[in-house]
């Protein structure tokens, strides 16, 4: 069984039309902030499906702007389009970004519009739903989500279904390994003849091998089956909203 009830498809450009045809909630990354501090509106897809509006990271050279005015414009845009929520896709935690997010958090809460922010940028916010990646290199996905729910409240934690495919040299000095494409990973498996295993804690597959310099490696990766398992675990934790990139999530929508 594929747990797609709470799945929101994340898309840009023309993919928004294709995603909307799946009959599922869609997050359209369609808003930006100009260097002068104005809300930049991009054309929305022509569709009967109401899209959550995605706001991209502000420019690094953003001038000192009126955060409250920008927040009011964001509320207006959400109401104009009938959007069921706003996602601030901020990638960098900066003083300027925190100031904007604080103003957005207050204005959208008062307007009763759901507001989603990446966990790394939104820890200090009062009302926003904090979105965390599901790609872990250690520990337990269930324990990790439960710990966040204990800190912020279950209703304030959402997830971003982020597939992982990384090669770690052991002992690993960093939580991030070398990224492998599916083709590179399959070629590596064929060359080394390694056996794959499934980690219930991480909800990911893995294998090990030794390179030509006799260094040990640990490869952690996702496929359609592990993404299904992650959705099931998230549903079991009571996570109400899970974002996934489209069309990368197509296999989840039409499993073989």
Number of neighbours of residue 63 by Cβ within 10 angstroms: 10
Residue ranges of domains in the chain: 7-163+223-253, 166-220
> pLDDT digit of tens for each residue in the chain (256 aa)?
455 668 898 887 677 777 777 777 889 888 999 988 889 887 655 455 578 999 998 888 777 888 999 999 999 999 998 999 999 999 888 888 999 999 999 999 999 999 999 999 999 999 999 999 998 878 899 999 999 999 999 999 999 998 889 999 988 777 778 999 999 999 999 999 999 999 999 999 999 999 989 999 999 999 989 999 999 999 999 999 999 987 777 667 665 4
Give dist(CA 240, CA 104) in Å, integer: 22
**Residue 108 contacts residue 75 (beta carbons within 8 Å):** yes
Question: In DSSP terms, which residues pair with 157 in a beta bridge?
Answer: 130
Question: In DSSP terms, which residues pair with 133 in a beta bridge?
Answer: 160
Q: What is the DSSP-derived secondary structure letter of residue 139?
A: S
At residue 256, the pLDDT reads 45
Element holding 219 (H helix, E strand):
strand 216-221
Give dist(CA 199, CA 201) in Å, integer: 5
Judged by DSSP in three states, 67 sits in helix
Topology of domain 7-163+223-253 in CATH is: TIM Barrel (3.20.20)
Q: What is the DSSP-derived secondary structure letter of residue 175?
A: S
Give dist(CA 93, CA 110) in Å, integer: 24
Closest CA to 71 of 26, 30, 101, 116: 101
Closest CA to 170 of 197, 147, 138, 123: 138
pTM: 0.88
166-220 CATH pick, 3.40.50.970, 3.10.50.10, 3.40.50.300, 3.40.50.720: 3.10.50.10
């Amino acid at each position: 069984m594929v747990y797609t009830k709470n799945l929101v498809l994340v898309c840009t450009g023309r993919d928004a039309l294709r995603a909307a045809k799946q009959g599922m909630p869609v997050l359209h990354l369609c808003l930006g902030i100009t260097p002068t501090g104005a809300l930049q509106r991009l054309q929305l897809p022509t569709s009967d499906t109401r899209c959550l509006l995605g706001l991209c990271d502000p420019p690094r050279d953003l001038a000192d702007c009126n955060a409250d005015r920008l927040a009011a414009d964001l509320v207006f845009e959400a109401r104009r389009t009938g959007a069921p929520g706003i996602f601030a896709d901020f990638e960098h935690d900066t003083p300027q970004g925190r100031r904007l997010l604080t103003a957005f958090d207050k204005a959208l809460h008062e307007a009763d519009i759901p507001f989603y922010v990446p966990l790394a940028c939104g820890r200090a916010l009062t009302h926003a739903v904090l979105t965390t990646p599901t790609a872990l290199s250690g520990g337990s996905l269930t324990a990790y989500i439960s710990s966040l729910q204990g800190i912020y409240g279950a209703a304030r934690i959402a997830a971003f279904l982020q597939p992982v495919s990384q090669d770690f040299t052991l002992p690993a000095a960093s939580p991030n390994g070398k990224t492998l494409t599916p083709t590179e990973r399959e070629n590596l498996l064929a060359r080394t003849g390694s056996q794959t295993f499934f980690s219930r804690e991480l909800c990911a597959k893995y294998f090990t091998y030794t390179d030509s310099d006799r260094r040990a490696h640990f490869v952690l990766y996702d496929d359609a089956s592990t993404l299904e398992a992650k959705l099931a675990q998230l549903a079991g934790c009571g996570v109400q909203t899970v974002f996934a990139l489209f069309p990368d999530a197509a296999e989840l929508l039409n499993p073989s």
